[in-house]
Amino acid sequence: DSGVTQTPKHLITATGQRVTLRCSPRSGDLSVYWYQQSLDQGLQFLIQYYNGEERAKGNILERFSAQQFPDLHSELNLSSLELGDSALYFCASKGPNYGYTFGSGTRLTVV
């Protein structure tokens, strides 16, 4: 157990639908990062939050949005889903030192 909790583990939904992925960082970590990993691909950075505020943005589609709540958990919202959005979505948290720790991911399948 890495200490980073992601739910749900699996999600199957239809095209055009909207889903929410949830991440709870390690205790004490203020930063949360979201990454997308398509089949047999690398990890693409989507967005970072620090203590409730957006701090860095990557190749995140306009259909996607995220937020970090006062209790530091984060949610990634994916809307108007397309087949190509099927992927593993990872959340990572980072403490005051350098280390990034990943959660177990949410596997999203859009049918």
Partner 1 sequence: GENVEQHPSTLSVQEGDSAVIKCTYSDSASNYFPWYKQELGKRPQLIIDIRSNVGEKKDQRIAVTLNKTAKHFSLHITETQPEDSAVYFCAASIGTGTASKLTFGTGTRLQVTL
- Which residues of this chain interact with partner 1, rule CB under 8 A? 2, 30-31, 33, 41-43, 45, 48, 50-51, 55-56, 58, 88, 90, 92, 94, 98-105, 107
H or E element at residue 79 = none
Cross-strand pairs, 90 = 35
- Nearest approach, Cβ of residue 39 and partner 1 (Å): 11
Instruction: CB nearer to partner 1: give 14 or 98.
Output: 98
- Residue ranges in the chain assigned as alpha helix (H): none
Instruction: CB nearer to partner 1: give 73 or 95.
Output: 95
- Nearest approach, Cβ of residue 97 and partner 1 (Å): 8
Q: Which of 106, 109, 111 is nearest to 46 (CA)?
A: 106
Main-chain phi, psi angles of 61, to 5 degrees:
-70, 155
